[in-house]
Structure 1
Amino acid sequence: MSITINEHLTEALKKLGIANLRLQQEAPMEAILNNEDVIALMPTSGGKSLLYQLPAVMEPGSLTLVISPLKALQLDQVDALRSKGIRAAVLNSDLSAAEHSSVLEDMTRRGGLLYLAPEQLRSPAVAEALQSCPILTRIAVDEAHILPQAKDDFRKAYGKIGSFIDSLSLHPQVIALTATATRKDVARIRKSLDIDNASLFRTPLRRDNLHLCINHIDNSKIRKGKRKPSTENVPFQSVERELSKWDEDGAVIIYCPTVKLVKRLCKWLKARDYPVGKYHGKMKHAKRKAAQQAFMRGKKPIMVATNAFGLGIDKPDVRLVIHAGLPLSMDGYVQEIGRAGRDGKKSRCVLFFTKADFERNKRILSHSGGNKAIRRKLKRLNALHGLVDSKKCLWRVIEKYFGEKPQKKCEKCCRCRQKSV
């Protein structure tokens, strides 16, 4: 093990309820404890949060700012830390003005882990309190893959994090964390956060417990008696056939590219008595929260959702991830299959697409920003199109896209199995 084990480190791990660091955590943790800026790329469930939680526990009285995009994720982590006697708090718009001020004053005076969304940094009161805080020693930027997309009208507040850091009187350590980033994305993260000299740690994306399968649905070849089924029903039938193989062990996430498809597929499956819920960005917050809780507690173990669902969802037993249509990008696809098999057990990831999906996605993206933003988004879509058309090992194609040296063929994805038959 490269990192030096001492009594202080052992005690901090024990307080967090962890026996040992994972192999992929050792090198970045050593750099972080040496006060280096760090960019860490780790697959979903790789243990990214420990990289900022452990040093915070080892330095009582210091303040670690955790910038994270989702309230639910922030609350989950804070509740878990508090249950272990670790100082942690969330700063968000759900707090009253008095509560907001109290949390801000307490954390900037006594330290701990303070979680907030980047939009909070727009508040003059928040910015001023943090700028004058002498104990702010570390800033962790979670889901850092959002940074390169901030220019493309997605969470623009992420694009302002770098200028906020530059405004601080004492430059803190910066830790950027994500599951997926191409080489160009890493360069943009460095530039956005002004951490040109940050040490980069990349854990291999491939997860051997995830078996990938991509199926092209050719509507022209499918007939039902004398009548041809609707173009919508054909993929729905494919999803239902896949669900029929599910042994009701663990959970299922079915991703749809549009809200309209989420609603229709959910209705289709409910009519067939599947325990299904739905989740999309146009639902009211209370309904989204209720749907998420029903899924997490196993009451409705099948979730039909847009890509609004999944970021920060920590459910270890998702056994099946289905894409009922082509996602909008290679990056999104890899993020979403990462929800499966977080407990390390064998899980299946199936993508169904039709010829029309690619043109539909191009139309969606052509109305999503300026010309440069659209070109960047189309490049990510084209990469996914290349994946579904490829005859090569799917994991090797994914590795090449993200700048990793491709490993041996996985021998488990649908492309590898086709060649072995």
Structure 2
Amino acid sequence: MSPVYNTPEGRQLVKHILSECQPPIIPHDYQTDGIVVSLDGESLLVTMATGSGKSGYYSFLMHVMLAISRKPELALGGITFPENPAIIIVLPTKALQEDMRKSLSRAGLDAVVINGDTVKGGPTRRGKGSLWVECRKEHSMILISPEELLNPACRDLFDSKEFKARVCRLGIDEVHLIYTWGTRTNFRSSFKELGHIRARLPSYKGGFIPLIATSATIRDGRPKDAICQVLGLKPGDYHLLRRSNIRNDIQIITRELNGSLAGVLFPDFDWVLDSPDNTVLFCKTIGLGFRVAAYLWRKGQAKGISGLEKRVRLFNSLNATGYNEETLGFLDQDETASITVATDVLSVGWDSPSTRNAIVVGTPEDLDEFVQKIGRAGRDRTKVQSPRAFLYYTKASLATAKQLASRPDQSAAPHVPTDSDSGPTPMDISIARFLVAECKTENLNAQYNNPTIDPPCSCPTCAARAAPSMHRCQCSGPHCAPEILEALPKTKAGSGKARAKPGQGISKAMRELGSEKLCAVRYKIFEGEDSDANIFLPPTVFLPDDIINTLIDNIYSISTKDEMNSFHIRKFSLTAVKRYSHS
């Protein structure tokens, strides 16, 4: 069938309708390219850089549909839309759902979120009926979590005549998670059911409902094949819109960790406390995130930094919803320096205008995870200059990457462990290739099959503010912009330790006795700590093993409180250490 809206006349109509919105909308050329394809009823698969306007494929499309439904005379080729059109958009995290709801509301669209929190009701729904029943006739943009699609109440919604008459598109943002969290790891199996959900929605011209799927990370090969297989997308049945996903404004820096991810000391991140920038540290597990945050908190206390309750924040699924929303508020509205230690729940879709540094702690499982996380930095170029992305990897993970990347048949290579404090997790060949690559930017372009040059956009915004060009790569590769770092002080005594002075030697028996005594001190401190804020802390937080070893190594040189302070023991524990050590 010949295109109707994907024509010069159709493009002009889209731009005209959007220009009459309040405030007026001027789309990028590549956004118009996708909108006209979707208006023609063709499924759309979009991949481009984070922060380049993927949400416009949903919001701008709805503005055009609403305009045509209100004025059918605007329709081309007899292709019209329901009187009260609706789009379902599947979003993976609550943070992303709420972020998009706010964005759509600011754009003048009626958006609602359906997830585990909203269906239970709350202050905003007090006195109202079922949200599922409400969506049969109300709300044009329905943002829903994958798990809620399996809810029997969702089946009732899809089966209702009122909803069938108005739903006209299915959207899936962060569609790469079908592979990353679904078919590859089974972390959230509901992602593998999205194809079945599509089949349950009303048909369109004898086929499935048109789809809009977006992501910054759709790699050719197994990842893209898995996405298409789950969603029922066959070659020739959909339109692929691929632009480069490289953010040339972000400097990529890789660093080898000096310590262990299984410990409680993280001196590699001391610089974050002294930085004037907003920083997000991504930790793979809640436990690792807690230990990193606790270390930064202790370090901040030792430095005398005030306002740590706002300066260092945790963001994870175990936190109360209100606390996480407060943290997002600091990130979105407060431009003063802050440190957020987050898990994967903050790694997709969330936009922070003032965050300069994105730090990935430990090697991610695949390249998609890394690109998504670093894409959180520098979302507003007027507020953040020269955003940076850091990957801190262990020596063991680099060795693993070299082993995996050197195998002749990489597609059949067994999965080998990457950095994690919760047991072995698989390292994908994509992140192995990235770790060993001399130029990180060149490797990203190759793995994502990025166009050498994106077609230029003629919109006024792009014409006035050209994207950063890259005359020379700024990644930390050996031939690009390598770092020269001062070595961090070691937290453990090395083999080259100087011989002890006469009378100051520490025998094996003395070390064992000292360790036994200090471990007893640690437990007494733990038992005596009754603060509600620290009730769930393990004993090792109050007096870590590394500090016990350091105290024993330096026992002859410690004679004052200031010398004790130099080892960064939590302030409220110092008195207890001195008191109990004499007992």
Category of TM-score, reference length = shorter chain: 0.7 to 0.9
**How far apart, in 1, do the equivalents of 2:345 and 2:102 lie?**
23
Code of the residue aligned with 1:390 in structure 2: it is: A
Quote the residue 2:148 is aligned against. Answer: 120
**How many pairs does the alignment contain?**
398
**How far apart, in 2, do the equivalents of 1:207 and 1:2 lie?**
31
Quote the residue 1:138 is aligned against. Answer: 169
Q: Unmatched 5+ residue regions in structure 1?
A: 220-228, 369-373
**How far apart, in 2, do the equivalents of 1:174 and 1:39 lie?**
8
Percent of aligned pairs sharing the same letter: 21
**How far apart, in 2, do the equivalents of 1:254 and 1:304 lie?**
5
Cα distance change of structure 1 residues 279 and 181 upon mapping to structure 2, 3 Å threshold: same
The alpha carbon displacement at 1:399 in A equals: 1.9
**How far apart, in 1, do the equivalents of 2:149 and 2:472 lie?**
44
**How far apart, in 1, do the equivalents of 2:119 and 2:34 lie?**
38
The alpha carbon displacement at 1:339 in A equals: 0.7
The alpha carbon displacement at 1:218 in A equals: 5.4
Secondary structure of the 1:109 match is coil
**Does the alignment pair 1:87 with 2:118?**
no
CA RMSD of aligned residues (A): 3.4
1:398 alignment partner, one of 441, 444, 456: 444
**How far apart, in 2, do the equivalents of 1:231 and 1:154 lie?**
22
Quote the residue 1:385 is aligned against. Answer: 432
Q: Deviations over 1:166-222 (max 9, x none)?
A: 123423211111111211222221111112221111110111100111122456xxx
Q: Unmatched 5+ residue regions in structure 2?
A: 1-5, 67-83, 401-415, 454-469, 485-583
- Matching of residues 21-420 of structure 1 within 5 Å: 21-60=27-66, 61-95=84-118, 102-109=130-137, 112-131=140-159, 132=161, 133-148=164-179, 149-151=181-183, 152-170=185-203, 171-183=208-220, 184-196=222-234, 197-217=237-257, 232=263, 236-241=266-271, 244=274, 246=275, 248-249=276-277, 251-270=278-297, 271-272=299-300, 273=305, 275-298=311-334, 301-344=338-381, 345-357=385-397, 361-362=417-418, 377-378=426-427, 380=428, 382-391=429-438, 393-404=439-450, 410-415=472-477, 416-418=479-481
Cα distance change of structure 1 residues 102 and 217 upon mapping to structure 2, 3 Å threshold: closer
Code of the residue aligned with 2:329 in structure 1: it is: Q
Quote the residue 1:11 is aligned against. Answer: 17
Q: Which moved more, 1:289-298 or 1:1-10?
A: 1-10
**How far apart, in 2, do the equivalents of 1:103 and 1:9 lie?**
34
Higher strand share: 1
Q: Deviations over 1:216-237 (max 9, x none)?
A: 2456xxxxxxxxx999577x32
* Higher relative contact order (Cα pairs below 8 Å, separated by 6+ residues): 1
**How far apart, in 2, do the equivalents of 1:96 and 1:26 lie?**
35
The alpha carbon displacement at 1:280 in A equals: 2.8
1:279–1:305 CA contact under 8 A, matched in 2: yes
> Larger C-alpha radius of gyration, 1 or 2?
2
Q: Deviations over 1:317-358 (max 9, x none)?
A: 211112233223221111111111112342111222221346
2:97–2:113 CA contact under 8 A, matched in 1: yes
Alignment TM-score, normalising by the size of structure 1: 0.82
Secondary structure of the 1:352 match is strand
Q: Deviations over 1:377-401 (max 9, x none)?
A: 43x2x4323322222x211112222
Secondary structure of the 1:93 match is coil
**How far apart, in 2, do the equivalents of 1:230 and 1:326 lie?**
11
Cα distance change of structure 1 residues 102 and 16 upon mapping to structure 2, 3 Å threshold: farther
Code of the residue aligned with 1:104 in structure 2: it is: W
Q: Deviations over 1:139-170 (max 9, x none)?
A: 00111011123132222112112112112342
**How far apart, in 1, do the equivalents of 2:261 and 2:97 lie?**
43
